[in-house]
Amino acid sequence: MGRPPCCDKVGVKKGPWTPEEDIMLVTYVQEHGPGNWRAVPNTTGLRRCSKSCRLRWTNYLRPGIKRGSFTDHEEKIIIQLQELLGNKWAAIASYLPERTDNDIKNYWNTHLKKKLKKLQSGSGDNQSRFSSNSHSISRGQWERRLQADISTAKQALQDALSPENTSHLSESYTKPVQSYSYASSTENIARLLKDWVKNTPKSEESKCSSTQNSTNNYSDELTPSTHCTEGKSGIDLSEAFESLFGFETFESPNSEEFSRSGSPSLACDEIKPDPSDLAPLSMLDNWLLDDLRKDYLTNLSFDENPDLF
């Protein structure tokens, strides 16, 4: 018996996602939470495979995703964890909550692999420094600590998200988790719409496949919302979007900062985010990365090899 196709191939759309499709998907997640992807096409009317929906959400629309180039710190973590875990991108991504496994995988394949290869050919023993460092703890210890850390992180996340505990988060972390999640998700859509609106009037005949460019440019182009009044479709979509999400995304001079600042206006009680898909709490985030940095990276001899970074 052959494996049944994950979805009905007839009438299933492929290729880049349009902003409209993104909105439909986000709307579904807002209402039902992430999961039950099989139901998404039927529920939303999206002509997309359930897997495609899940992938789009996890790799692109999910709240808290950081885009743009990787920092040196992130790079180091990836290199170390790849050395330790191999191509377990999901596991590596769990230590970089703002990055998706796909992003990390791509970054590894396009940048880091070459970098290390170059380094390896340049000086023979540099590679071995990563794999057998005299200062580093043993592989077994690493793995045990990783496991422990992941478990602890999950517990911390659950604790932090439980209603009775959210109130005692320290003052510096008082941003509402739900709002953060919500706003970040909104921000992701907003960036798509913004670019889409900007591009559509110029080339109406062109297909709406500008999502790639829009995301790449957005972080450097957090301009005031003048674009959203350009073009009819922009107005309609923007208004629809605003009404959909209940606040004026396009009025934000800097939507990223806005979303992270935890503005009270972003509160949205009807959202019931799944804890596993929430944006990483800063506290947890910092804890993970700080712990990594302190306990692991300082034990390793990156500094012995300044040429690498």
Partner DNA sequence: AACGAGCCCAACCGCGCACCG
Partner DNA sequence: ACGGTGCGCGGTTGGGCTCGT
105 sits near DNA (criterion: CB under 7 A): yes
Reference 182, options 29, 72, 13; nearest CA is 29
| Category of 11 on φ-ψ map: left (φ > 0), alpha (ψ -120 to 50) or beta | left
CB 280 within 8 A of CB 177: no
Cβ closer to DNA: 38 or 260? 38
3-state SS string for 174-214: CCCHHHHHHHHHHHHHHHHHHHHHHHCCCCCCCCCCCHHHH
CB 251, min distance to DNA, A: 26
What SS3 string covers 145-185? HHHHHHHHHHHHHHHHHCHHHHCCCCHHHCCCHHHHHHHHH
Contact between 36 and DNA (CB under 7 A)?
yes
Stretch that binds DNA, among 49-57, 125-133, 141-149, 295-303 (CB under 7 A): 49-57
Residue 34 DSSP label: S
Least Cβ distance, residue 187 to DNA (angstroms): 15
State in angstroms the smallest separation of the CB of 48 from DNA: 7
**Residue 47 to residue 30: CA distance in whole angstroms:** 19
- Residue 50 beta carbon to DNA: minimum distance, rounded to whole angstroms: 5
From CA 50, how far away is CA 248, in angstroms rounded? 30
Please identify, among the stretches 57-65, 115-123, 222-230, 291-299, the one whose residues bind DNA according to the rule CB under 7 A.
57-65
Question: 41 near 48, Cβ under 8 Å?
Answer: yes
Tell me if 246 contacts DNA by CB under 7 A.
Answer: no
Check binding of 91 to DNA (CB under 7 A): yes
Site for DNA in 109-128 (CB under 7 A): 109-111
Shortest approach of DNA to residue 265 CB, angstroms? 29
Q: Is 132 in the site for DNA (CB under 7 A)?
A: no
Instruction: Looking at residues 163 to 192 of the shown chain, list those that interact with DNA (rule: CB under 7 A).
Output: none
Q: Which of 27, 43, 66, 67 binds DNA (CB under 7 A)?
A: 67
Q: How far is the CB of 2 from DNA (least distance, A)?
A: 9
The residues binding DNA (CB under 7 A) are 1, 3-4, 6, 13-17, 35-38, 48-52, 54-56, 58-60, 67, 87-91, 101-103, 105-107, 109-111, 209, 211-213, 215-216
